[in-house]
Structure 1
Amino acid sequence: MALTSLVLLGATGYGYGMYNEIVGGYTTANVLDEGAGGPKPADGATDILLVGLDSRVDAQGNPLSKELLARLNGGKADGELNTDTLILMRIPNDGQKAVGISIPRDSYVDIPGFGKHKINSAYARAKATEMRKLRAGGESNQAQLEVRSNQAGAAQLIKTIQGLTGAQIDNYAEVNLLGFSEITDAVGGVPICLVKSVNDSYSGARFPAGEQEVSGVQALQFVRQRHGLPNGDLDRIVRQQVFMKSMATKVLSAGTLTDQSKLDNLLAAIKKSVVLDQKWNIVQFAKQMQGMTGGALDFKTIPTGRPDLKTPEDGDAIEIKPAEVKSFVQGLLGGQQAPPSSGAPSSSGSRPADASNNAITVDVRNGNGKDGLAAQVAELLAGQGFNPGDTKTTAARTTTVVRYPRGEKANADKVADALGGSVTVEQDTNVAKGRVVVLLGKDYKATDGLAGQPLLRLDPPGGVRAQQPPPPRIGSNGAPCVN
């Protein structure tokens, strides 16, 4: 987002000198297969893999100082390198809203050539293998060893993600601890809101409850914390999604793009710690993204099963059903139907969005008495692919029902299932064809069905309804209050 914003500004009059400096100023890596990176991907979307590394070296392979690691609360370099943040960004060819798909770090998946392991070890396993080969071949320059083995790790991670999701990765971007801290510092602060105060020695996160702004090291601490959170890494994913949406809005705002010092700091941070694939045509990408704003960006999480899956070597992991993940990812493209699947929910109760839901328009009537509930339910149903209709307040009622026109009970059943499955479904000749009407009664609680999901269409990872919090309040700074 930062790099694209700078290129856009350069291409529209900021200055030819700065434009050249931007386009030629970042580190690249040869990590993509032949055929990737084309202008119009055949699978219907430009797919970008965004990776957050816990690396203790910069993009050029130089080690970070002890003092800097201490400031970042990065800990001691122990030879391990994990990709603790994985987001697949889908940008449809037809101009629809972009979607960032989070993949939990502990997802138990097949890593080609290594068997089944947690997905955050794919990069590290290939990196370690390549490092041994390079040393055996006589390479002794430590910076070169880091850069070349990292490329092997990134290439392995891309293969793993492609196998899991069915998407063809067209571009790749990674950022390390230092880069994330300095980029957010250059932006000048991102609004967040916490339900409760936190004090975590592992990440260094020490924040009061409520609304606040974070940047630099504090921003890094906010998105890294998982210890001490009710749902561990799954809560961390929601934090990252909320933060990135807020940051995208901030970076693409006029105030950021027209501030000379922020632009200079942003460019310096990108050059130091961001790695992009060698085929990424930044100018072409910038033109494609001219309509992008924070509001044109949603975040979701792949469907997951049980969070305590026992594994032979990796301890507890998150259960993943590849067929469900592929169906979910493909279903996010409105012009394509999701691949056939059983339609059965996973063991956790989560269900991928059905691409055919967008043919069903849902009107919501609030007879519950709780202000704003109709709009909230309509938003959450839209997050499951349903076409939002109108929302109104209606006379108070006791029970919640879903009404449908003659011959369209299947549509109503889909809506009822999305609301929790225990909702009464009944025919109503006054309902127009292609529409479904939801009448919310006093029996509809905020924790029923979809109402247990956070706002802003940030799908809760894990899918275990009993573990999910009620919808968060939105702070006056625009950020949802999260764990």
Structure 2
Amino acid sequence: MSVLVLIVTGYAWAAMQGLVNGLTQADVIGSDEGEKPADGARDILLVGMDSRVDAQGNPLPKKMLAKLNAGVADGELNTDTIILLHVPNDGRKAVALSMPRDSYVTIPGFGTHKINSAYARGKTAAKRELEAQGVTDEKELELRSNQEGAKTLIATIEALTGQTVDNYASINLLGFYDITNAIGGVEVCLNQATSDSYSGADFKAGKQTIKGVDALAFVRQRHGLLRGDLDRVVRQQVFLAGLANRVLSAGTLTDPAKLNELVDAISKSVVVNKGWDILSFAQQMKGLTGGQIEFRTIPIVNPEYDTPDGMAVQVDPNEVRQFVAKLSGKKPSENSSSAPAPGEITVDVYNTSNIEGLAGTVAESLAAQGYLQGEVANDTPRQSSVVQAAQGELASAQAVADALGGEFVVEESPDVTAGHVRVLLAPDYQSNGNSGASAPTGGGTAPGAARKQTDEGSAEQPITADGVTCVN
């Protein structure tokens, strides 16, 4: 028995090494050299792409696309599944936090939009810039623009949650199909029968084991569900919980045939950040069981929020950050430092729009609120407004953004002097009639305005990988 265990363990380890060597890696975060994150937990961004190509950029065959019921690509590479996995260094309970794809959030450098467009916006902007620089090779364009798309999504998640993303992994439609086949399917449970021509979903009520095309339809369906995309998020959570339970409790890692299929499926379709020591991470994860993986959803303010981008899901970034801090065992106050008094912050205001006198008006408004007036001038035209602060002084930028009464891109910049905040006003900035102050368009809520917190998802019982939960 001891010899048998050693042989099986050795095979699994060799397969893991083969998997790591075969993974497609993207330079989107940088190397952590296998060290455990200093903040006490590893935060991994898991992304489901609606890509019609494999991890190496090869187009999927038309027959396979038809089989997957993928439909026709609309030209945009959206991320329809976004989950932040929080794994403590000491091996305690891991938490997977879902973000509805239509969450209306600040995308650094691009303004306020649905979160699933962050990757596409970063990718498109980078591709245009590379083409302007004379890059013509399609594979190079795809590789470099995809990396910028991932970086934009990572920055968006960090701004929304207040967490630092340590690692990144994405999977496409084909990969999900192959992986579910490799492990022999996942058991799920539905409260009622459902049928949907868009996703291809056609399921009976009750418990059932699904894989391949059916598994993809199960996690992609949103039409015909009571809460639309929010129910789809729950579908994804229970499926991933079942998948985790299957891998952790069944003989997947000790079955050479299954393991080979799983390694092959992952290698073809999963992209991870360059420098991630997967083997060390696997060692850290080996003590987890199904009950130690919990799935939650970020707090929701309004699931039917009317925006310039259409109907979206409204979220409050402050509530999201507090919720995430609580789940990670931190006090919200530990997540960010408090801002100095207005009289200690010098604000430089620049007009990058064609609205005459905008910088002066905004500077006067801020001065009236106690902020020190810095430089007031015009600057290079840009598409979206942003508030910037020096390294480590993000709280100051957020305070100025709040004083202006709107939702801004708030970011650190090495070009900003310590003690200063830089405000760049773009064409998306319009007057809200509040003492001359303005706010970017996009449905931002002014300070003091009443908010209705429904807290969808986070108020529900968390889903775990211990057992099968019946859902819509």
Question: Taking structure 1 as the reference length, what is the TM-score of the superposition?
Answer: 0.69
Q: Which of 314, 333, 340 does residue 339 from structure 1 map onto?
A: 333
Q: Does the CA contact (< 8 Å) of 1:100 and 1:299 recur in 2?
A: yes
Shift of 1:129: 1.1
CA–CA distance in 2 between the matches of 1:279 and 1:188?
31
Measured against aligned partners, the alpha-carbon deviations of 1:373-431 in whole angstroms (never above 9, x if no partner) come to xxxxxxxxxxxxxxxxxxxxxxxxxxxxxxxxxxxxxxxxxxxxxxxxxxxxxxxxxxx
Aligned to 1:51: 47
Q: Which of 464, 469, 472 does residue 480 from structure 1 map onto?
A: 469
Q: Does the CA contact (< 8 Å) of 2:16 and 2:279 recur in 1?
A: no
Aligned to 1:18: 15
Q: Which of 321, 325, 329 does residue 326 from structure 1 map onto?
A: 321
Is the aligned partner of 1:265 residue 2:250? no
2:171 maps to amino acid: V
CA–CA distance in 1 between the matches of 2:237 and 2:260?
26
CA–CA distance in 1 between the matches of 2:278 and 2:7?
12
Is the aligned partner of 1:30 residue 2:19? no
- Between 1:19-28 and 1:271-280, the stretch displaced more is 19-28
Secondary structure in 1 matching 2:165:
coil
Cα gap change, 1:15/1:252 in structure 2, threshold over 3 Å: closer, same or farther?
Answer: closer
Secondary structure in 2 matching 1:318:
strand
1:316 maps to amino acid: M
CA–CA distance in 1 between the matches of 2:8 and 2:116?
37
Q: Does the CA contact (< 8 Å) of 1:108 and 1:318 recur in 2?
A: yes
Secondary structure in 1 matching 2:81:
strand
Aligned to 1:360: none
Shift of 1:10: 9.5
CA–CA distance in 2 between the matches of 1:44 and 1:298?
18
CA–CA distance in 1 between the matches of 2:156 and 2:149?
11
Aligned to 1:349: 454
CA–CA distance in 1 between the matches of 2:321 and 2:332?
8
Cα gap change, 1:35/1:178 in structure 2, threshold over 3 Å: closer, same or farther?
Answer: closer
Is the aligned partner of 1:243 residue 2:348? no
Cα gap change, 1:172/1:260 in structure 2, threshold over 3 Å: closer, same or farther?
Answer: same
Q: How many pairs were matched up?
A: 356
CA–CA distance in 2 between the matches of 1:457 and 1:140?
47
2:453 maps to amino acid: S
Q: Does the CA contact (< 8 Å) of 1:184 and 1:216 recur in 2?
A: yes
Cα gap change, 1:16/1:179 in structure 2, threshold over 3 Å: closer, same or farther?
Answer: closer
Aligned to 2:229: 233
Question: Which contiguous aligned blocks of 4+ residues in structure 1 show a shift greater than 6 angstroms?
Answer: 8-11
- Between 1:290-299 and 1:12-21, the stretch displaced more is 12-21
Q: Which structure shows the bigger proportion of residues in strand conformation?
A: 2
2:332 maps to amino acid: A
Measured against aligned partners, the alpha-carbon deviations of 1:242-289 in whole angstroms (never above 9, x if no partner) come to 111110010123421122221111111111100000021012111211
Aligned to 2:406: none
Aligned-residue CA RMSD (Å): 2.7
Cα gap change, 1:189/1:139 in structure 2, threshold over 3 Å: closer, same or farther?
Answer: same
Higher relative contact order (CA 8 A, sep 6+): 2
Secondary structure in 1 matching 2:95:
strand
CA–CA distance in 2 between the matches of 1:18 and 1:47?
25
Aligned to 1:295: 291
Q: Does the CA contact (< 8 Å) of 2:91 and 2:285 recur in 1?
A: no
Cα gap change, 1:62/1:351 in structure 2, threshold over 3 Å: closer, same or farther?
Answer: closer
Q: Does the CA contact (< 8 Å) of 1:122 and 1:157 recur in 2?
A: yes
Is the aligned partner of 1:129 residue 2:234? no
Secondary structure in 1 matching 2:43:
strand
Q: Within 5 Å, which residues of 2 pair with 1:295-314? A: 295-312=291-308, 314=309
Cα gap change, 1:181/1:169 in structure 2, threshold over 3 Å: closer, same or farther?
Answer: same
Shift of 1:455: 6.2
Measured against aligned partners, the alpha-carbon deviations of 1:5-45 in whole angstroms (never above 9, x if no partner) come to xxx9999422675354223111000001x576762323221
Q: Does the CA contact (< 8 Å) of 1:60 and 1:143 recur in 2?
A: no
1:208 maps to amino acid: K
Q: Does the CA contact (< 8 Å) of 1:29 and 1:151 recur in 2?
A: yes
Cα gap change, 1:288/1:55 in structure 2, threshold over 3 Å: closer, same or farther?
Answer: same
Shift of 1:138: 3.5
Q: Does the CA contact (< 8 Å) of 1:37 and 1:279 recur in 2?
A: yes
Aligned to 2:381: none
Cα gap change, 1:251/1:154 in structure 2, threshold over 3 Å: closer, same or farther?
Answer: same
Aligned to 2:345: none
Q: Does the CA contact (< 8 Å) of 1:193 and 1:479 recur in 2?
A: yes
Shift of 1:82: 0.7
CA–CA distance in 1 between the matches of 2:171 and 2:160?
22
Gap runs ≥5 in structure 2 = 336-446
Q: Does the CA contact (< 8 Å) of 1:300 and 1:457 recur in 2?
A: no
Q: Does the CA contact (< 8 Å) of 1:86 and 1:103 recur in 2?
A: yes
Gap runs ≥5 in structure 1 = 1-7, 354-449, 459-476
Q: Does the CA contact (< 8 Å) of 2:175 and 2:270 recur in 1?
A: yes
Cα gap change, 1:456/1:125 in structure 2, threshold over 3 Å: closer, same or farther?
Answer: closer
Shift of 1:309: 1.5
Shift of 1:457: 6.2
Q: Within 5 Å, which residues of 2 pair with 1:55-66? A: 55-66=51-62
Q: Does the CA contact (< 8 Å) of 1:37 and 1:170 recur in 2?
A: no
Shift of 1:95: 2.6
CA–CA distance in 2 between the matches of 1:295 and 1:262?
24
Q: Which of 153, 166, 173 does residue 162 from structure 2 map onto?
A: 166
Secondary structure in 1 matching 2:303:
coil
CA–CA distance in 1 between the matches of 2:464 and 2:16?
35
CA–CA distance in 1 between the matches of 2:123 and 2:181?
30
Q: Does the CA contact (< 8 Å) of 2:32 and 2:277 recur in 1?
A: no
CA–CA distance in 2 between the matches of 1:50 and 1:20?
21
Cα gap change, 1:319/1:9 in structure 2, threshold over 3 Å: closer, same or farther?
Answer: farther
